[in-house]
Amino acid sequence: MNIEPIAYFRSPLTSKFGIPRQSGIVAELPGTIAFVPKYAQPEALRGLEAYDYVWLIWGFSENVEAEKHPTVRPPLLGGNERVGVWATRSPFRPNNLGLSSVRIARIDAESARVEVTGADLMDGTPIYDVKPYLPYVDSHPEARGGFTDDHEWQRLQVVIDDRHAALFDAKDLQVLKKLLALDPRPHYHQDSTREYGMPFKGFDVRFRVDDTILYVLEISKI
Protein backbone atom coordinates (compact mmCIF):
# COMPACT_ATOMS: atom_id res chain seq x y z
CA MET A 1 0.00 0.00 0.00
CA ASN A 2 1.30 3.43 -0.92
CA ILE A 3 0.11 6.43 1.05
CA GLU A 4 0.74 10.10 0.44
CA PRO A 5 0.31 13.16 2.64
CA ILE A 6 -3.07 14.83 2.47
CA ALA A 7 -1.76 17.80 4.48
CA TYR A 8 1.25 19.19 6.29
CA PHE A 9 1.35 20.54 9.82
CA ARG A 10 2.41 24.10 10.59
CA SER A 11 3.80 24.69 14.06
CA PRO A 12 5.87 27.27 15.96
CA LEU A 13 8.23 24.37 16.76
CA THR A 14 10.64 23.76 13.89
CA SER A 15 12.74 21.03 15.51
CA LYS A 16 12.11 17.71 17.27
CA PHE A 17 13.76 19.25 20.31
CA GLY A 18 11.04 20.70 22.53
CA ILE A 19 8.08 18.88 20.98
CA PRO A 20 5.66 17.69 23.70
CA ARG A 21 5.92 13.93 24.12
CA GLN A 22 2.15 13.50 23.90
CA SER A 23 -0.67 15.49 22.37
CA GLY A 24 -2.71 17.51 24.85
CA ILE A 25 0.11 17.99 27.38
CA VAL A 26 0.42 21.63 26.29
CA ALA A 27 -3.21 22.20 25.42
CA GLU A 28 -2.65 25.80 24.29
CA LEU A 29 0.10 25.03 21.76
CA PRO A 30 -1.24 26.27 18.38
CA GLY A 31 -0.80 24.64 15.00
CA THR A 32 -2.44 24.39 11.60
CA ILE A 33 -3.41 21.52 9.32
CA ALA A 34 -2.69 22.81 5.81
CA PHE A 35 -4.14 20.54 3.12
CA VAL A 36 -2.15 20.00 -0.06
CA PRO A 37 -3.75 21.28 -3.31
CA LYS A 38 -4.99 17.84 -4.36
CA TYR A 39 -7.12 17.59 -1.19
CA ALA A 40 -7.87 21.28 -0.63
CA GLN A 41 -11.57 21.02 -1.41
CA PRO A 42 -13.84 23.03 0.92
CA GLU A 43 -16.56 20.39 0.65
CA ALA A 44 -14.25 17.79 2.21
CA LEU A 45 -14.41 19.80 5.46
CA ARG A 46 -18.19 20.05 5.46
CA GLY A 47 -19.57 19.01 8.86
CA LEU A 48 -16.23 19.15 10.66
CA GLU A 49 -17.41 22.22 12.60
CA ALA A 50 -19.71 19.91 14.59
CA TYR A 51 -16.72 18.26 16.31
CA ASP A 52 -14.38 19.53 19.02
CA TYR A 53 -11.45 17.16 18.40
CA VAL A 54 -9.94 15.21 15.53
CA TRP A 55 -7.47 12.35 15.29
CA LEU A 56 -4.41 12.94 13.15
CA ILE A 57 -2.55 10.05 11.55
CA TRP A 58 0.86 11.37 10.65
CA GLY A 59 4.44 10.40 9.90
CA PHE A 60 7.56 10.51 12.07
CA SER A 61 9.37 12.05 9.13
CA GLU A 62 12.57 12.72 11.09
CA ASN A 63 12.95 9.07 12.16
CA VAL A 64 12.58 7.29 8.82
CA GLU A 65 16.20 6.15 8.68
CA ALA A 66 16.59 5.55 12.43
CA GLU A 67 17.30 2.01 13.59
CA LYS A 68 14.23 0.28 15.06
CA HIS A 69 14.19 -2.24 17.92
CA PRO A 70 11.49 -4.44 19.50
CA THR A 71 11.99 -2.69 22.84
CA VAL A 72 12.45 0.99 23.72
CA ARG A 73 13.29 3.05 26.81
CA PRO A 74 10.43 5.48 27.56
CA PRO A 75 11.54 8.87 28.93
CA LEU A 76 8.75 8.67 31.52
CA LEU A 77 10.58 5.70 33.05
CA GLY A 78 13.79 7.67 33.19
CA GLY A 79 15.26 6.01 30.13
CA ASN A 80 16.54 3.12 32.25
CA GLU A 81 13.85 0.49 31.71
CA ARG A 82 13.05 -1.27 28.46
CA VAL A 83 9.45 -1.86 27.36
CA GLY A 84 8.05 -3.50 24.23
CA VAL A 85 7.57 -0.96 21.46
CA TRP A 86 3.87 -1.88 21.12
CA ALA A 87 3.39 -0.93 24.80
CA THR A 88 4.63 2.61 24.14
CA ARG A 89 4.10 5.56 21.84
CA SER A 90 7.75 5.69 20.91
CA PRO A 91 8.49 7.48 17.60
CA PHE A 92 10.87 4.66 16.64
CA ARG A 93 8.31 2.37 15.01
CA PRO A 94 8.54 0.13 11.93
CA ASN A 95 6.08 2.18 9.86
CA ASN A 96 6.92 5.58 11.37
CA LEU A 97 3.25 6.43 11.97
CA GLY A 98 1.97 8.65 14.78
CA LEU A 99 -1.51 9.18 16.20
CA SER A 100 -2.61 12.35 18.00
CA SER A 101 -5.87 13.90 19.13
CA VAL A 102 -6.02 17.68 18.78
CA ARG A 103 -8.67 20.28 19.52
CA ILE A 104 -10.22 22.23 16.64
CA ALA A 105 -9.81 25.97 17.14
CA ARG A 106 -10.93 27.32 13.76
CA ILE A 107 -11.84 25.98 10.33
CA ASP A 108 -11.13 27.97 7.16
CA ALA A 109 -12.79 25.87 4.48
CA GLU A 110 -11.92 28.24 1.63
CA SER A 111 -8.18 27.99 2.24
CA ALA A 112 -8.45 24.33 3.37
CA ARG A 113 -6.75 25.01 6.67
CA VAL A 114 -7.78 23.86 10.14
CA GLU A 115 -6.29 25.60 13.16
CA VAL A 116 -5.87 23.30 16.15
CA THR A 117 -4.34 23.27 19.63
CA GLY A 118 -2.50 20.69 21.70
CA ALA A 119 -0.58 18.90 18.94
CA ASP A 120 2.73 17.09 19.40
CA LEU A 121 3.89 17.56 15.80
CA MET A 122 6.78 19.64 14.53
CA ASP A 123 6.51 22.08 11.65
CA GLY A 124 6.38 20.33 8.28
CA THR A 125 5.10 16.98 9.58
CA PRO A 126 3.19 15.04 6.88
CA ILE A 127 -0.40 14.15 7.78
CA TYR A 128 -1.92 11.07 6.17
CA ASP A 129 -5.46 11.19 7.50
CA VAL A 130 -7.85 13.23 9.65
CA LYS A 131 -10.71 11.54 11.49
CA PRO A 132 -13.27 13.00 13.91
CA TYR A 133 -12.90 12.18 17.60
CA LEU A 134 -16.06 10.45 18.84
CA PRO A 135 -16.47 10.63 22.64
CA TYR A 136 -18.95 7.75 22.84
CA VAL A 137 -16.42 5.27 21.44
CA ASP A 138 -13.03 7.01 21.77
CA SER A 139 -13.22 8.01 25.44
CA HIS A 140 -12.51 5.34 28.06
CA PRO A 141 -11.78 7.16 31.35
CA GLU A 142 -11.84 3.89 33.33
CA ALA A 143 -9.16 2.21 31.19
CA ARG A 144 -5.73 1.27 32.52
CA GLY A 145 -2.76 3.23 31.21
CA GLY A 146 0.14 0.86 31.76
CA PHE A 147 3.27 2.41 33.24
CA THR A 148 1.79 5.89 32.82
CA ASP A 149 -0.62 5.15 35.70
CA ASP A 150 2.27 5.08 38.17
CA HIS A 151 4.52 7.75 36.68
CA GLU A 152 3.79 11.43 36.13
CA TRP A 153 5.78 14.03 34.24
CA GLN A 154 7.82 15.98 36.76
CA ARG A 155 7.53 19.55 35.54
CA LEU A 156 10.32 22.06 36.02
CA GLN A 157 10.06 25.55 37.43
CA VAL A 158 10.85 27.98 34.60
CA VAL A 159 12.72 31.19 35.36
CA ILE A 160 12.71 33.84 32.63
CA ASP A 161 13.55 37.51 33.19
CA ASP A 162 11.31 40.37 32.15
CA ARG A 163 13.56 41.40 29.26
CA HIS A 164 13.19 38.06 27.53
CA ALA A 165 9.56 37.56 28.53
CA ALA A 166 8.72 40.85 26.81
CA LEU A 167 9.63 39.33 23.43
CA PHE A 168 6.34 37.39 23.43
CA ASP A 169 2.71 38.22 23.98
CA ALA A 170 1.04 36.73 27.05
CA LYS A 171 -0.39 33.72 25.21
CA ASP A 172 2.87 32.73 23.49
CA LEU A 173 4.82 33.24 26.72
CA GLN A 174 2.47 30.87 28.54
CA VAL A 175 2.94 28.23 25.83
CA LEU A 176 6.74 28.63 25.90
CA LYS A 177 6.86 28.23 29.69
CA LYS A 178 4.74 25.08 29.55
CA LEU A 179 6.96 23.58 26.84
CA LEU A 180 10.10 24.30 28.83
CA ALA A 181 8.54 22.98 32.04
CA LEU A 182 8.28 19.55 30.39
CA ASP A 183 12.11 19.43 30.27
CA PRO A 184 13.03 19.12 26.56
CA ARG A 185 16.44 17.63 27.34
CA PRO A 186 17.28 14.00 26.51
CA HIS A 187 16.47 11.93 29.58
CA TYR A 188 20.12 10.97 30.13
CA HIS A 189 21.36 14.59 30.29
CA GLN A 190 21.79 15.79 33.87
CA ASP A 191 24.68 18.26 33.58
CA SER A 192 23.57 21.51 35.25
CA THR A 193 26.24 23.52 33.40
CA ARG A 194 25.21 22.36 29.92
CA GLU A 195 23.39 24.88 27.74
CA TYR A 196 20.58 23.90 25.37
CA GLY A 197 18.75 25.66 22.56
CA MET A 198 15.14 25.24 21.46
CA PRO A 199 13.53 26.97 18.47
CA PHE A 200 10.17 28.62 19.15
CA LYS A 201 8.31 31.05 16.86
CA GLY A 202 11.45 32.15 15.07
CA PHE A 203 13.53 32.53 18.24
CA ASP A 204 16.39 30.47 19.63
CA VAL A 205 15.67 29.93 23.33
CA ARG A 206 18.83 29.09 25.27
CA PHE A 207 18.55 27.54 28.72
CA ARG A 208 20.12 25.29 31.33
CA VAL A 209 18.59 23.12 34.03
CA ASP A 210 19.75 22.89 37.64
CA ASP A 211 17.89 20.20 39.57
CA THR A 212 14.20 21.13 39.17
CA ILE A 213 14.69 24.69 37.90
CA LEU A 214 15.10 25.70 34.26
CA TYR A 215 16.84 29.03 33.71
CA VAL A 216 16.33 30.85 30.40
CA LEU A 217 19.72 32.36 29.55
CA GLU A 218 19.16 34.11 26.24
CA ILE A 219 16.54 34.45 23.51
CA SER A 220 17.55 35.67 20.07
CA LYS A 221 16.07 35.81 16.59
CA ILE A 222 16.97 32.89 14.36
Which residue from 220, 176, 218, 177 is spatially nearest to 202, judged by alpha carbons? 220
- pLDDT-derived band at 77 (thresholds 50, 70, 90) equals confident
First-last CA distance in the chain: 40
Residue 196 contacts residue 184 (beta carbons within 8 Å): yes
Q: Average pLDDT in the 202-207 region?
A: 97
φ/ψ of 49, rounded to 5, equals -65, -10
pLDDT tens figures, 150-160: 888 889 999 99
Planar angle of CA 132, 134, 138, nearest 5 degrees:
115
Q: What percentage of the chain exceeds 90 in pLDDT?
A: 78
Domains of the chain, earliest start first = 7-138 (2.40.30.70), 157-221 (no CATH)
Which residue from 201, 28, 218 is spatially nearest to 123, judged by alpha carbons? 201
Could you tell me which residues are beta bridge partners of residue 7? 35, 127
pLDDT at 192 over 80: yes
Backbone CA torsion sign across 161, 167, 173, 175: negative
- pLDDT-derived band at 76 (thresholds 50, 70, 90) equals confident
pLDDT tens figures, 80-128: 789 999 999 888 889 999 999 999 999 999 999 999 999 999 999 999 9
pTM: 0.91
Q: What torsion, rounded to 10 degrees, do the Cα atoms 154, 215, 29, 84 define?
A: -40
d(CA 185, CA 175): 17
Backbone CA torsion sign across 18, 19, 21, 25: positive
